[in-house]
């Protein structure tokens, strides 16, 4: 019988497009001893589905959130040593795979991007604009600056850029000015205060549609606090490099900024790099990936009815055909720690 921790975790998390993800990954995981890296373990729903359906597969689950790792480990304890949890950011996949001894690569990689059900549902984490909480928004609460630090230290120009680029917020300039003006009176501490300010900055006619007017600001802050797009830019190429020939990668994105990065990385591998007009395509310029989806797949009506959080999902998948040509191979797998350290230092310098 599952314990209370395991039952509550399963109840709180419905994995998006689970069957489709498993169907796409299964052909690459057919052989005994196959390994899947779940780069965004969360509460373990996708990993549980793979371990149940494919009893010969081992899953390495990566997450930066210690609480998620603890809950997922309880949920997946019945699978014994077929599951290995790893506390890391998923752009470190190359280092994780090497450290675990998978020198020839792994057979599958799964990424379910964005904020997890755990983080949204835990009021104290500060991710949800519908609940008052400290302005934290860190996926790993053991390290790094918080959303309050961003609001209290970034200048108006930086805040405007973040809101416009990461939140695609039309009223970014007005919101940024109001944030700076308000913090001159007292520092930012609570999410409800920010929700009220954003609502006051957005015209009433605009607020009638599109849901909570603060959702774009919260998205932008969350992306900035966790360096999500920077991490993703490194993680997708690193994940492709971690795949053995014949391996497959499946990525679920939830907004256009994420999907654009994933689309670009897959297109890079599925397109010949040979100069146009050559009579014969050189082997070193042939595509090294094959797309498994036509564009980005969305949730159907049945999935939407089962799991409303699937409304914005965009799923892309690809298979590795051959090793990446040397002239196209990136070095992201060994530079992520340095890059993240430099980024954190820049943030702390603003305090």
Which tokens sit at 113?
């991007």
- The residues pairing with 319 across neighbouring beta strands, listed in sequence order, are 248, 290
pLDDT of residue 337: 40
CATH code, 128-226: 1.10.150.170
Instruction: Choose between 62 and 282: higher pLDDT.
Output: 62
Contact 319, 246 (CB under 8 A): yes
pLDDT of residue 328: 77
Tell me if 63 is assigned to a ligand binding site. Answer: yes
Tell me if 46 is assigned to a ligand binding site. Answer: yes
pLDDT digits (tens, 9 = 90+) for 262-313: 999 999 999 877 677 677 667 777 889 999 999 999 999 999 999 888 999 9
Q: Taking the alpha carbons of 238, 239, 243, 247 in that order, is the dihedral positive or negative?
A: negative
Between CA 316 and CA 249 the distance in angstroms is: 8
Q: Which contiguous run of DSSP H or E holds residue 239? A: helix 228-242
Half-sphere exposure in the Cβ direction for 154 (13 Å, CA)? 24
Q: How many CB atoms lie within 10 A of CB 143?
A: 10
Q: Left (φ > 0), alpha (ψ -120 to 50) or beta: where does 294 sit?
A: beta
Tell me if 144 is assigned to a ligand binding site. Answer: no
pLDDT digits (tens, 9 = 90+) for 116-140: 766 666 777 888 888 899 999 999 9
Q: For the chain, give the mean pLDDT.
A: 88
Tell me if 11 is assigned to a ligand binding site. Answer: no
Tell me if 119 is assigned to a ligand binding site. Answer: yes
Which tokens sit at 26?
């299964």
Tell me if 112 is assigned to a ligand binding site. Answer: yes
User: Any idea which fold 4-118+229-343 has?
Assistant: Rossmann fold (3.40.50)
Contact 89, 336 (CB under 8 A): yes
DSSP 140: S
Tell me if 326 is assigned to a ligand binding site. Answer: no
List the domain boundaries for the chain: 4-118+229-343, 128-226
Q: What would the DSSP string read from start to end of 189-205?
A: -BHHHHHHHHHHHS-HH
């Amino acid at each position: 019988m599952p314990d209370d921790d395991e039952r509550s975790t399963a109840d709180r998390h419905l994995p998006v497009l689970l069957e489709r993800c498993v169907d796409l990954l299964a052909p690459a995981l057919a052989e005994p001893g196959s390994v899947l890296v779940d780069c965004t373990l969360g509460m373990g729903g996708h990993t549980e589905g793979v371990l149940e359906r494919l009893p010969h597969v081992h899953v390495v689950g990566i997450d930066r959130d210690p609480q998620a790792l603890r809950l997922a480990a309880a949920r997946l304890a019945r699978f014994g040593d077929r599951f290995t949890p790893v506390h890391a950011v998923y752009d470190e996949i190359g280092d994780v795979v090497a450290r675990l001894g998978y020198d020839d690569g792994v057979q599958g990689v799964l990424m379910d991007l964005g904020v997890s059900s755990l983080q949204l549902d835990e009021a104290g984490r500060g991710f949800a604009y519908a609940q008052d909480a400290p302005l934290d928004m860190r996926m790993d609460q053991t390290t790094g600056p918080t959303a309050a630090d961003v609001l209290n230290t970034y200048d108006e120009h930086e805040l405007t850029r973040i809101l416009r680029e990461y939140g695609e917020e039309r009223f970014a300039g007005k919101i940024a000015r109001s944030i700076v003006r308000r913090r001159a009176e007292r520092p930012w501490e609570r999410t409800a205060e920010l929700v009220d300010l954003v609502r006051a900055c957005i015209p009433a006619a605009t607020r009638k549609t599109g849901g909570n007017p603060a959702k774009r600001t919260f998205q932008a802050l969350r992306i900035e606090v966790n360096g999500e797009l920077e991490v993703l830019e490194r993680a997708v190429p690193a994940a492709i490099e971690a795949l053995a020939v014949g391996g497959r990668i499946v990525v679920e994105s939830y907004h256009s900024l994420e999907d654009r990065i994933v689309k670009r990385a897959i297109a890079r591998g599925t397109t010949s790099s040979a100069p146009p007009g050559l009579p014969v395509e050189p082997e070193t310029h042939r595509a090294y990936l094959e797309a498994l989806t036509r564009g980005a797949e969305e949730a159907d009506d049945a999935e939407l009815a089962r799991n409303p959080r699937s409304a914005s999902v965009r799923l892309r998948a690809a298979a590795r055909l051959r090793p990446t040509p040397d002239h196209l191979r990136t070095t992201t797998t060994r530079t992520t720690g340095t890059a993240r350290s430099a980024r954190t230092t820049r943030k702390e310098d603003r305090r």
